[in-house]
Structure formats: C-alpha cells, structure tokens
Amino acid sequence: MFGGKIVLFQKTKELNAKITEFLNNISESAIVFAKAVDDYLLNGDSDEFASLLNNMASLEARNDQLRRNIETELYEHTLIPESRADVLELLEGMDKVVNMFEAQLYQFSIEKAEIAESLSPLYLELVESTVSAVEALVRSVRAFFINPSEINDHIHKVMFFEKQGDMVGTKLKRMIFDDKKMELSHKIQLRMLCDDIDAIADLSEDIADQLSIYAIKRYL
C-alpha cells in the first residue's frame, strides 16, 4: 500500500492518513471490479460475484464516509484555503469512480445479461483499459499531493488508456450488431454494458483534465 508523505498537509497526520486510505480504496475498487467482471463472464451471477459486489459496496460506503470526513477537516482547520475548492472537487470526482464501479456491478447482477463466449475477450479487454485508466488517475492524484513533477506523466497514461478503451468499445459494438441471430433488445443491452464500462474511463479522463488545471494553479 501507498505510504508517501502528502505535501499539502504535512502538519496533519490524520488527514494524510484519510486521503491515503481514500486513494487506496479507489485502487482496490478497480481490482475488485476487474475480478468481478471476469468471474461473471465465466460463471454468471455466482456466489463469488455476489461476494465481490458486497466488497465493492463496502469500499463505496467507506469512501463516502472518508470524503465527508476529509471535507469537514479541511473546513474546520481552514487548511489550504486557496486550493481547498479544487481539492474538494477532485475528491468528489474520484468518489464518483467507485460509485460507477459499484453501479456497473449491480447492473450485471440485476440484468443478468447473457454474454456469448465470443464476446468475453473484448469485454475483458475493455475492462482492462478502464481499470488501467483509473489506476493511472489514482497515481496522478497521488503525485498532485506528493510529487507534482510526475503529474503529467500519469495524466498522459490516463488519456492513452481511455482512447484504447474507445477503440475496443467500438470493435465490441460492431461485433454485437453484426450478429444476425441476436435479438435487437439483447444487442442494445450488451451495447449499454459496453458504454457504461467505457464511461468510467471517460470520467477518469475528465478528472485528469481538471487535475492538470489544478496543478497549474497550485504549482506554477
């Protein structure tokens, strides 16, 4: 787990620990999401998938609590007033990533979409690109707090994986709609799953764009 010292809050160890845990939970949620989708594609709505979904729900609830605690502490201790709004907006955006991971797994659980074995590799590739974008985003946020010189390197990777996901998503949707035997309603369901997974990478790109502006305002 990450254990670096947060530059913005050197005198507030408790706040440092909360932000560190918050970012660690986002990284963990990406791992849980990838495992859950992989299990669903292999075994459907299995007990293992349900367990991973519960794990994701716990991470989401914990990060909601952490975000609120961090916001309260920033205001109560009047910390970094010149950057506080940017930090709060950044944390809220990052929290939405976990919310979207959780919502996507619930979508699998509720709709129980039947995904042909021929489509599974592309869904897995799309998930891999999305998770990689989120992981790069987490690293860029860590850099914002600890080592600003590394922010742009990680943001570039967010953009790369988001574009990679777009290409995979397009290929997947073409494959779905080229299937002459599949019902249109089923095609639309599978296309929505594809779009919703890709939307997580899109959100990561949006947050990375905001972060680059925050970094310029803070450090240049």
| In the predicted structure, residue 200 carries a pLDDT above the cut 70 | yes
Is the Cβ–Cβ distance between 174 and 119 less than 8 Å?
Answer: no
| In the predicted structure, residue 5 carries a pLDDT above the cut 90 | no
Q: 4 falls in which pLDDT band (50, 70, 90)?
A: low
Provide the CATH number for the domain formed by 11-219 in this structure: 1.20.58.220
- Tell me the average pLDDT across 162-175: 98
Q: 148 falls in which pLDDT band (50, 70, 90)?
A: confident
Identify the weakest region by mean pLDDT among 23-32, 79-88, 115-124.
79-88
**According to the model, what pLDDT value does residue 73 have?**
84
Helix (H, G, I), strand (E, B) or coil at 71: helix
> Residue for token digits 């290929």?
171
**According to the model, what pLDDT value does residue 81 have?**
66
| In the predicted structure, residue 180 carries a pLDDT above the cut 80 | yes
| In the predicted structure, residue 1 carries a pLDDT above the cut 60 | no
Q: 152 falls in which pLDDT band (50, 70, 90)?
A: very high
Identify the weakest region by mean pLDDT among 61-70, 141-150, 151-160.
141-150
| In the predicted structure, residue 90 carries a pLDDT above the cut 70 | yes
Alpha-carbon separation of residue 55 from 48, 65, 152 (angstroms)? 11, 16, 32
Q: 2 falls in which pLDDT band (50, 70, 90)?
A: very low
Is the Cβ–Cβ distance between 194 and 169 less than 8 Å?
Answer: yes
pLDDT digits (tens, 9 = 90+) for 98-141: 999 999 999 999 999 999 999 999 999 999 999 999 999 999 99
pLDDT digits (tens, 9 = 90+) for 35-77: 999 999 999 999 999 999 999 999 999 999 999 999 888 887 7
Length of the chain: 220
**According to the model, what pLDDT value does residue 87 have?**
85
Average pLDDT, the chain: 91
**According to the model, what pLDDT value does residue 124 have?**
98
Q: Measure the N-to-C terminal CA separation of the chain; round to a whole number of Å.
A: 30
Two structure tokens written together for 52 = 């991973």
CA–CA dist 12, 196 (Å, integer): 38
